[in-house]
């Protein structure tokens, strides 16, 4: 075999080995190292290096082989410019060659000259039509590189491009998958109607983990031009308790993320905290040790509600350029969660108002019946009796007629008393739940064992709800359950009124059917309470009801 045939054979073998690595999908860094190694062995060069062009006019060294100075170590970052192979390739996108470094310039050029390089060549690494980086090869002093060096390098850079394209799409897919999974977890919480606080904590953690940052946080703008931290997350190797987390409120007056987003309503980044004015920036920089941050606004139904932040402790490396756009998916979910919670809170308040208005109407009707109709009936009865007395004895039939009418009026009074009691039992307002329930149980068609442990008076709406719940349950027990006894227990625990109503009837009650049960559950839910019906066929019916005593059970207070 000729030297040329041997060379071609070795080169093919090397290319095959690299291609196998690429096909196996090993990490790109491994391919980079292998390629520079193979090229270093095959070509009559002293050293080989591979660099990646960054978007900010710099180049990062990603692999080397052969004797290169420490300054060219992997990971090093170089500013492009001047006369040198890497810069020329970056500028032209084509292979470049420098046979004398005497007049080389720029950061790279000067460093290479100082290394005592004879000549250098570089070939672009073009991934999917985009200039990704460069592979360079150098000879020692007084050793010009063969004319075909660029061409032979190019064989390898094509393989590199494939490896990089593969790795990028894999990494992109993995990243996308992780992002989608995180978004899905948050979306599930939101759809479940989890309390906003829970969503805030989840989003902050997901974002922090996904973006690989040291800290993540969420803040809410308040109506008095301040901002409050509502959730924070710190990476595990970064003890959260070491951070003096101060929820605020913080004044919005500096150049920090929160203040800037508040002014601009746009995503904001800080790549360098030095000189950023304001208390928040000082705290983030000096107390939390943050070097770079990105924040994105949370806009709820057109109104700036708050912001989501990620922070890195590295001051030498800004957060990736796509951080803002990656935050957006999460801020949109947070906005949905807040809008939902606000909608729910409004709905709850509206239901509570409707129930309160209905209760008030019943009270008013009862009072009107009492003060007007019932009093009037008694007055008329008295007048009738007076008229009856005035009838002369000889008109006995008329006297008896008037007496019958007076008795009829008294019966109407009794009927009205029953109706009025059904509309709103006066004793409930006068004496509270206990006497009202005791009276209710006395009137029940089924015997009731009443166990009352709530001694104090409760808010009117709670007493009314409890009264009608028991009333409805007793009616059901008598009408449908054919029960022989009903047990009613009431107790208050931790500002929650709990009551259990059990009967020994036929069971099989369907809480979704029968307007009484639906109305009952509506009423309980309107107060932020819960109703649980257990009614196995043949084993009686149990209603377990809980109603918060002090105002509404928190449906989330999503802020201003």
Partner 1 sequence: VSTIRVALADDDVLLREGLASLLERFGFEVVGQCGSASELIALVRERRPRLAVVDIRMPPTHTTEGLDAAGAIREEFPDVAVLVLSAHVEVEHAMDIIGSGEGTGYLLKSRVTDVDDFIETLKRIVRGASVIDPALVQELVAAQRVDDPLDELTTREREVLALMAEGRSNAGIAKRLWVTEGTAEKHVRSILMKLPLPATEEDHRRVLAVITFLDAR
Shortest Cβ 372–partner 1 spacing (Å): 9
By the rule CB under 8 A, 450 interacts with partner 1? no
Phi-psi region of 369 (alpha: psi -120 to 50; beta: other; left: phi over 0): alpha
Shortest Cβ 476–partner 1 spacing (Å): 16
Shortest Cβ 447–partner 1 spacing (Å): 4
- CA neighbor of 92 nearest in space, from 124, 45, 69: 124
By the rule CB under 8 A, 383 interacts with partner 1? yes
Q: Specify the stretch interacting with partner 1 by CB under 8 A; choose among 71-79, 432-440, 491-499, 524-532.
A: 432-440
Report d(CA 465, CA 25) in Å as an integer: 67
Which pair of tokens denotes residue 454?
């709530």
Q: Which is nearer to partner 1, 207 or 474 (CB)?
A: 474
By the rule CB under 8 A, 329 interacts with partner 1? no
Return the residue of 430, 455, 494, 510 that touches partner 1, per CB under 8 A: 430
Return the residue of 219, 441, 527, 547 that touches partner 1, per CB under 8 A: 441
Distances (CA, A) of 303 to 16, 337, 347, 510, 513: 59, 14, 20, 43, 42
Which pair of tokens denotes residue 216?
């993540």
By the rule CB under 8 A, 379 interacts with partner 1? yes
Q: Which is nearer to partner 1, 327 or 436 (CB)?
A: 436
- Residue 406: CB atoms within 10 A of its CB come to 17
Distances (CA, A) of 341 to 202, 331, 399: 16, 15, 70
By the rule CB under 8 A, 421 interacts with partner 1? yes
By the rule CB under 8 A, 426 interacts with partner 1? yes
Buried b (16+ CB within 10 A) or exposed e, 273-286: beebebebbebbbe
Return the residue of 16, 94, 314, 443 that touches partner 1, per CB under 8 A: 443
Shortest Cβ 501–partner 1 spacing (Å): 16
Report d(CA 538, CA 515) in Å as an integer: 22
Q: Burial-class residue 4 by CB neighbours within 10 Å (0-12, 13-18, 19+).
A: exposed
Report d(CA 437, CA 427) in Å as an integer: 9
By the rule CB under 8 A, 505 interacts with partner 1? no
Return the residue of 413, 460, 552, 553 that touches partner 1, per CB under 8 A: 413
Shortest Cβ 423–partner 1 spacing (Å): 12
Tell which positions 458-487 bind partner 1, by CB under 8 A.
484-485
Q: Give the contact letters, 267-286, x = binds to partner 1 (CB under 8 A), - = no.
A: --------------------
3-state secondary structure 491-530: EEECCEEEEEEEECCCCCCCCCCCHHHHHHHHHHHHCCCE
Q: How many residues appear in the chain?
A: 560
Tell which positions 109-138 bind partner 1, by CB under 8 A.
none
Q: Which is nearer to partner 1, 412 or 496 (CB)?
A: 412
- The footprint of partner 1 on this chain (CB under 8 A) covers a number of residues equal to 45
Which stretches of the chain bind partner 1, using CB under 8 A? 367, 370-371, 374-379, 381-386, 389, 406-407, 409-410, 413-414, 417, 420-421, 425-427, 429-431, 435, 438-439, 441-449, 484-485
């Amino acid at each position: 075999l000729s030297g040329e045939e041997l060379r071609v054979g070795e080169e093919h073998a090397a290319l095959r080995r690299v291609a196998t690595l690429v096909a196996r999908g090993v990490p790109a860094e491994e391919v980079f190292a292998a390629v520079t190694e193979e090229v270093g062995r095959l070509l009559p060069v002293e050293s080989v290096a591979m660099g990646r062009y960054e978007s900010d006019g710099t180049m990062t060294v990603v692999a080397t082989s052969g004797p290169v100075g420490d300054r060219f170590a992997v990971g090093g970052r170089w500013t492009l410019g001047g006369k040198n192979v890497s810069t020329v390739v970056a500028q032209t996108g084509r292979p470049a060659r420098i046979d004398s470094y005497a007049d080389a310039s720029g950061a790279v050029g000067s460093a290479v000259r100082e290394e005592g390089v004879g000549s250098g060549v570089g070939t672009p690494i073009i991934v999917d039509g985009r200039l990704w980086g460069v592979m360079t090869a150098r000879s020692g002093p007084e050793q010009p590189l063969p004319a075909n060096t660029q061409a032979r390098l190019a064989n390898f850079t094509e393989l590199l491009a494939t490896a990089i394209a593969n790795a990028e799409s894999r990494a992109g897919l993995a990243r996308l998958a992780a992002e989608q999974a995180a978004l899905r977890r948050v979306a599930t919480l939101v759809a479940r109607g989890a309390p906003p606080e829970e969503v805030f904590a989840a989003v902050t953690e997901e974002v922090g983990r996904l973006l690989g940052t040291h800290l993540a946080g969420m803040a809410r703008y308040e109506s008095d031009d301040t901002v409050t931290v509502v959730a924070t997350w710190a990476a595990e190797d970064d003890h959260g308790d070491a951070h003096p987390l101060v929820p605020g409120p913080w004044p919005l007056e500096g150049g920090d993320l929160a203040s800037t987003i508040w002014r601009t309503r746009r995503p904001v980044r800080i790549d360098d905290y030095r000189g950023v004015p304001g208390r928040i920036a000082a705290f983030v920089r000096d107390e939390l040790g943050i070097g770079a941050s990105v924040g994105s606004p949370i806009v709820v139904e057109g109104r700036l509600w708050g912001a989501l932040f990620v922070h890195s402790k590295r001051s030498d490396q800004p957060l990736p350029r796509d951080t803002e756009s990656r935050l957006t998916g999460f801020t949109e979910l947070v906005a949905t969660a807040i809008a939902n919670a606000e909608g729910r809170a409004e709905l709850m308040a509206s239901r509570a108002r409707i129930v309160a208005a209905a209760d008030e109407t019943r009270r008013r009707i009862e009072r009107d019946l009492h003060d007007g109709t019932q009093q009037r009936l008694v007055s008329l009865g008295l007048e009738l009796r007076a008229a009856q007395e005035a009838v002369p004895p000889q008109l006995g039939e008329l006297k008896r007629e008037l007496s019958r009418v007076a008795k009829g009026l008294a019966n109407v009074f009794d009927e009205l008393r029953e109706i009025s009691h059904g509309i709103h039992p006066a004793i409930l307002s006068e004496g509270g739940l206990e006497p009202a329930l005791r009276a209710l149980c006395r009137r029940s068609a089924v015997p009731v064992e009443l166990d009352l442990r709530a001694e104090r008076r409760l808010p009117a709406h709670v007493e009314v709800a409890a009264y009608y719940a028991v009333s409805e349950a007793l009616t059901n027990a008598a009408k449908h359950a054919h029960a022989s006894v009903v047990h009613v227990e009431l107790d208050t625990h931790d500002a929650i009124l709990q009551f259990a109503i059990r009967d020994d009837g036929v069971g099989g009650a369907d809480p979704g059917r029968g307007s009484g049960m639906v109305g009952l559950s509506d009423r309980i839910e309107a107060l932020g309470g819960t109703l649980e019906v257990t009614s196995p066929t043949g084993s009686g019916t149990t209603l377990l009801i809980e109603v918060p005593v002090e105002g509404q059970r928190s449906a989330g207070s999503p802020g201003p």
